[in-house]
Structure 1
């Protein structure tokens, strides 16, 4: 699509809607069905995400879920960046994919917490930004073994890193909004962390 053929609001709306539909593909549920596993919304944390799929004991299914959840954030953003869309439209596409994961129209709006999809979106925005945020996540996960703590720390770091790399602007606002939603979706995990009841990475349901 030619970015100059439509007014910016229409371009952003079309891109966000398309990305939302892509983001609404809940790969935790899809992959689990393909492998004959229980629906991840019925065990563990009840979250349809890679960490909870790992609690089924099937590492392959968890890895595929992680990869595809990240790709559904990365591909739409990378595509519009390659097409030369303006920053506000790119931000709208990234938010659309992320919100689709949180509230997927194809799965009764019962979505995940958005960690992998957010990582994909950030990599699409700028590889250096996504890589830096991913490094924060990996470091915290390796040291403390809590996926939720790693995600929360990476969420706090993401808008700060975006502002550091590229200055304050439209993309900083989009990253900050994703971070705020991700932290909000981890409210139950925060309570469990404070109570010492949070499950560690790889712990079976």
Structure 2
């Protein structure tokens, strides 16, 4: 990687590391969102703990982090690969933010921002499947995993650049790593559903 590429990736990571769920909860409620509900610094836990409005704001702002990272990559290079690398760096920052001791969210909203910017059609199809799964099962984690797994498939089917396929596999891997405990609970039948009074991480 060139110096410009490294700079772009690091800055994108720092953009991703800004935790809006933490900031907004501190502002609205005066406490750390990670100490309540599921303990996750993300929109779903915000919905359960703080409310619909703040959760919607966090979702949009987290998605904008991904869009901003792609914009940075585009500004510094015309290469498609750097844009995707910046997007991945933002997702990593969201998941493991340097500003919060590397305890962040699960990166789905930021991933949506990244993929909707670079691969809109693929993101829409994978997103539709995810939303349907959430409606039918009320498992947000299952919908998130379906979205993440469907991305590289649809990117390949819709004939996006090959580099996008490989880099989207990294995004998929990141999502599955962050949802490891959710996957175990899904198989065990103990995962919390949307609206559950006993949220899990």
Residues 92/32 of structure 1: CA separation in 2 closer, same or farther (3 Å cut)? same
* Deviation at residue 37 of structure 1 after TM alignment: 5.3
1:13/1:92 contact within 8 Å kept: no
Corresponding residue number in structure 2 for 1:180 = 173
Aligned equivalent of 1:4:
none
| Residue in structure 2 matching 1:80, options 73, 76, 79 | 73
Structure 2 stretches lacking a partner, 5+ long: none
Instruction: String of CA shifts for 1:126-185, please: whole Å, max 9, x gaps.
Output: 222222222222111111111100011111111111111225611111110010111111
Cross-structure match for 1:5 = none
TM-score scaled to structure 1, two decimals?
A: 0.89
**Unaligned ranges ≥5, structure 1:** 1-7
Number of corresponding residues: 198
Does residue 94 (structure 1) correspond to residue 67 (structure 2)? The answer is no
Cα contact 2:12–2:72 (8 A) shared by 1: no
Paired residue secondary structure (1:166)? coil
Whether contact under 8 Å (2:116, 2:123) holds in the other structure is yes
2:133 is matched with: 140
Name the SS of the counterpart of 1:189 in structure 2: helix
SS in 2 for 1:163: helix
1:57 positional shift = 4.7
User: What's the RMSD between the two structures over aligned residues?
Assistant: 1.8
